[in-house]
């Protein structure tokens, strides 16, 4: 009796596991290495593990020089504006606080 129940359970899990593996394969098909994700510019690669291992300072120490060239104006979701020295500092601020800033333009506010 136990064999019949366990085989029935395995039979039910088979379609579910096939559906999940198919959908996961479809989602990851465009990402050849899912443990990495790309930032703009396209050739700049950050590893997710760096953020986990080293914390928010990853946005400052491993930030590409392209992001450090311009002063930016960012907007908080409450409508407040703030000038950051560069994009990396804005991301560092987002990582360290509950406030979420989004870049508006590459000039002072």
Alpha carbon 54 to its chain centroid, in Å, reads 15
Q: 0.85 cut: is pTM over it?
A: no
Contact 67, 87 (CB under 8 A): yes
Contact 30, 59 (CB under 8 A): no
Q: Is pLDDT of 103 > 70?
A: yes
Structure tokens at 87: 């994009």
Alpha carbon 80 to its chain centroid, in Å, reads 24
What is the chain's alpha carbon radius of gyration, rounded to the nearest angstrom? 22
The larger pLDDT score, comparing residue 83 to residue 18, is at: 83
Give the pLDDT confidence of 4-48 residue by residue, as tens digits: 555 555 555 555 555 545 444 444 455 555 545 444 445 555 555
- CA distance linking residue 101 with residue 92, whole number of Å: 10
């Amino acid at each position: 009796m136990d064999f019949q129940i366990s085989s029935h359970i395995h039979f039910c899990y088979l379609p579910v596991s096939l559906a999940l593996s198919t959908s996961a394969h479809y989602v990851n098909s465009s990402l050849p290495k899912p443990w990495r994700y790309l930032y703009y510019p396209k050739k700049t690669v950050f590893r997710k593990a760096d953020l986990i291992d080293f914390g928010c300072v990853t946005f400052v120490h491993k930030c590409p020089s392209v992001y450090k060239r311009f002063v930016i104006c960012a907007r908080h979701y409450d409508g407040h504006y703030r000038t950051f020295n560069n994009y990396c500092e804005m991301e560092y601020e987002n990582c360290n606080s509950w406030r979420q800033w989004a870049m508006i333009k590459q000039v002072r506010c």
